[in-house]
Amino acid sequence: MDPESPQMKRIEPCAQVVEISRNQLLAGLPPTESQRLLSHLQLLSLRQNQLLFLQGETAHHVYFPVGAVISLLVSLENGGSVAVGLIGSEGLAGLGLLLGGKTATQGVVVQAPGDCLRVNLEVLREEFERRGALHDRILGYARKRLAQTSQAVACNRVHLLEQRLACWLLMVHDRVKKDEFPMTHEFLSSMLGTPRSEVTIAAGVLRKAWLIRYWRGRITILDRRGLEDAACECYRVLSEAR
């Protein structure tokens, strides 16, 4: 699957600061830094399942979610993939490229639809190399992402599927900030790196416990605290690393 062209929205000058404030890395930057970035930002409307770039691809943009939720995928030889990270308004997609990588180390796909700010990689790299406030924030975020990726690898290796599913749903819930969001079994199968039939069984366990409701490609969180109890300890670790 090739990356798709996101639908672009026009950002009126008076709304630019508002959009920047919706991403934690960009919010509250010193005026000189934010002003240098403002004219280069593009507001995009992203669709669920939309692929922003492929693993191994040379990409030219970095993405700052301001409503959308993005997953990082590692491709497998059998054609499948496993999610190793989740990005909402706390972060950015394209970190490895910004830090000097030549190609994307993971695929980037939209998990929950919404808006996102896009900036040219070279523009952001130039700002990053000024070593101002944004530089320090991005390095701090990079350290957290390393911790999250390590935890995700361990989680995929040792924990039950229903525990991993509960953990993943909680992380999405944290970022979309809504009890109901779109999510198909096919997409969860891709995210968790497991057959759709097994995802159906795991979702059935959570549904029978009245923790979630699943209907026509949409999941509703019914019991947040119960879902936290059903998740593995990785949710706590991953949440603290945000």
- pLDDT at site 89: 95
The pLDDT tens digits of the residues spanning 135-168 come to 999 999 999 888 887 887 788 778 899 999 999 8
| Integer Cα distance of 105 and 93 in angstroms | 11
Q: What range does the domain containing 232 cover?
A: 159-240
Last residue of a domain, which of 126, 155, 184?
155
CATH number of the CATH domain containing 179 = 1.10.10.10
- pLDDT at site 242: 63
**Predicted confidence band of residue 18 (pLDDT cuts 50, 70, 90):** low
**122 in the same domain as 95:** yes
Average pLDDT over residues 188-216: 89
User: What is the chain's length?
Assistant: 242
What lies within 8 Å, CB to CB, of 178 at 6+ separation is: none
**Predicted confidence band of residue 14 (pLDDT cuts 50, 70, 90):** very low
**71 in the same domain as 86:** yes
**223 in the same domain as 166:** yes
- The amino acid at residue 16 is Q
Overall pTM surpassing 0.85 (yes/no): yes
**56 in the same domain as 142:** yes
Q: Give yes or no for a contact between 116 and 67, defined as CB atoms under 8 angstroms apart.
A: yes
**30 in the same domain as 67:** yes
Q: Hunting for tokens 């039939």 — which residue is that?
A: 197
Q: 49, exposed or middle or buried, with CB in 10 Å at 0-12, 13-18, 19+?
A: middle
CATH number of the CATH domain containing 137 = 2.60.120.10
